[in-house]
Amino acid sequence: MDHTTEQTAAVTIEGVTLHLAHADQFPASWVGQEELIDQVLAAWLMVDERDLPLNPRLLGRPGVGKTTLAVAAARRSGRPVYTFQATMDTRPEDLLVTPVISEQGRIRYMASPVVTAMVTGGVAVIDEGNRMSEKSWASLAPLLDNRRYVESIVAGVKIVAHPEFRFVTTMNQDASTYELPEYIHSRLMPQIHIDFPEPHEERLILAENLPFADDQILDYVVSFLSRAHEAEEPYTVRDGINIGRYALKLLFESPPPDRARVLARSVSMILGPEALVYLEVPIGR
């Protein structure tokens, strides 16, 4: 079955029409650390008709590429991707079905990205999942075990997941998050940890995201990130991409500015002046 085509705009379940979300279309190219893609795909594999897919949890600091990994793995599997951005204000109905008033004054039931992935056989990516409260996670508990369904109190329906449905969540390792209850923790396995890429991988990622940058700029940013990693700073390749992108914009000034000064300015404005200690020897024009 080909899962790459766009699904229908609505489905009817138990007499209730659910209007579906659109699949994500943004690019997500995963560069380096191919074994991480393999780990996600292995979690989703079914080795027997009696088997069930697992629900991997991608862990790491902000900016190391967790969401990119999740989306890239989903696309590698041939399934459409539906991303839900979790927040501290996320409610159970946000995760499942939300009622809205149509132009005719009637109630329309809007399926979330998670429910849309369930009924179409796609991949649901819950981004920054540990920003959600236990109450919100509890609404997904039966989906994440062998029951594979959710119940929408708002719409009054039970929604059973398509056999091809897969789930993954990303979680930042920082202090501004909820602790997961054990019954949810045990449902989000395996835990796949994403760390800083190696320098040659970071350069590949930078080149993928900044194809218009010259080698000198890319090497400079990689060197900066390597020094920061050695000092156990939290700066990530996402920060490096932003540094390079802003520096390239500044380099369009006339007359041509000094590159070392521009890159230092970019580092300072992206990460703050305290990051300047990780700059390398100034480069030429």
Shared domain for 138 and 252, answered yes or no, is: no
The whole model's pTM is what? Answer: 0.86
Q: Angle at CA 198, nearest 5°, toward 192 and 203?
A: 120
Question: Is the model's pLDDT at 283 over the cut of 70?
Answer: no
Shared domain for 188 and 250, answered yes or no, is: no
Question: Is the model's pLDDT at 1 over the cut of 70?
Answer: no
**Angstrom distance (rounded) from CA 5 to CA 121:** 11
Query: At 159, is the secondary structure helix, strand, or coil?
Result: strand
Question: Is the model's pLDDT at 40 over the cut of 50?
Answer: yes
Q: What are the tokens at 154?
A: 């708002």
Shared domain for 150 and 264, answered yes or no, is: no
**Angstrom distance (rounded) from CA 251 to CA 259:** 7
By the 8 A CB rule, do 207 and 218 touch? Answer: yes
* Percent residues over pLDDT 70 in the chain: 94
By the 8 A CB rule, do 280 and 219 touch? Answer: no
By the 8 A CB rule, do 10 and 20 touch? Answer: yes
- What's the number of domains the chain is made of? 2
Kindly report the length of the chain: 285
Shared domain for 152 and 224, answered yes or no, is: no
By the 8 A CB rule, do 44 and 54 touch? Answer: yes
pLDDT tens profile 85-126:
999 999 999 999 999 987 778 899 999 999 999 999 999 999
Identify the band that residue 5 occupies on the pLDDT scale cut at 50, 70 and 90: very low
Name the domain boundary from 193, 212, 236: 193
Q: Say if residue 99 is preceded by a cis peptide, omega within 30 of 0.
A: no
Under DSSP, the state recorded for 275 is G
pLDDT at residue 42 in the model: 98
Q: Angle at CA 18, nearest 5°, toward 188 and 51?
A: 35
Structural domain boundaries, residue 262:
199-278
pLDDT tens profile 159-207:
999 999 999 999 988 766 788 889 999 999 999 999 988 899 999 999 9
Q: Which residue has the tokens 């008709």?
A: 49
pLDDT at residue 105 in the model: 83
**Paired residues of 171 in beta bridges:** 59
Shared domain for 59 and 177, answered yes or no, is: yes
Domain membership flag for residue 142: yes
